[in-house]
Structure 1
Amino acid sequence: MTNGDVETIDKDGQWVNRVIGEPERSESYSSKEEAIEEGQALADQLGTTHTVRPAVATGDITDPQE
């Protein structure tokens, strides 16, 4: 990845879009779908690439409805 590229990652249940080399542009979202949509829009605006990193299995049992 190069500076300006947008990466969507899962950070402890929160989905985050980060711009490589520009940490001040990071945004967090409660849903994966919203983060992906916004991440792609940001990458399009910046003229860069967008990458989605899958969530890493932790073995924890969680209920996102609660």
Structure 2
Amino acid sequence: MADGDVETVSKRGQWVNRVIGEPERSQSYRTKQEAIDAGRELAATLGTRHVVLESDETGVITDEDEVLEVDRDADSPVDPADPGDGTVPER
């Protein structure tokens, strides 16, 4: 994914649109469809790609106040502390 691309991903019960390289533009949504619609519109406005990472909805929001950021060292929007498989990492 290139800087400016929009990625829609499930994050602990919320659906999140992340703008690669611009974490301040990330926004969360309660439903997958709401996030996809907003992500598609944002990517069209920015003139970039929109990608949806498929994931099952859990229906439970566990981190409403969490700030999401892009892992710039790995050039990836995936949080290295969140394996993305539904498990909770030990701290």
Normalised-by-shorter TM-score class: 0.7 to 0.9
Is 1:4 matched with 2:4?
yes
Equivalent residue runs for 1:21-60 within 5 Å: 21-55=21-55
| Secondary structure in structure 2 of the residue aligned to 1:15 | strand
Larger RCO of the pair (alpha carbons < 8 Å, separation 6+): 1
What percent identity do the matched residue pairs reach?
Answer: 61
- Unaligned runs of 5+ residues in structure 1 are none
Normalized per residue, the structure richer in strand is 1
Q: Which runs of 4+ in 1 moved over 3 A?
A: none
TM-score (norm 1): 0.84
Matched positions, count: 60
- Unaligned runs of 5+ residues in structure 2 are 60-91
Task: Give the deviation of 1:56 after TM superposition.
Answer: 5.9
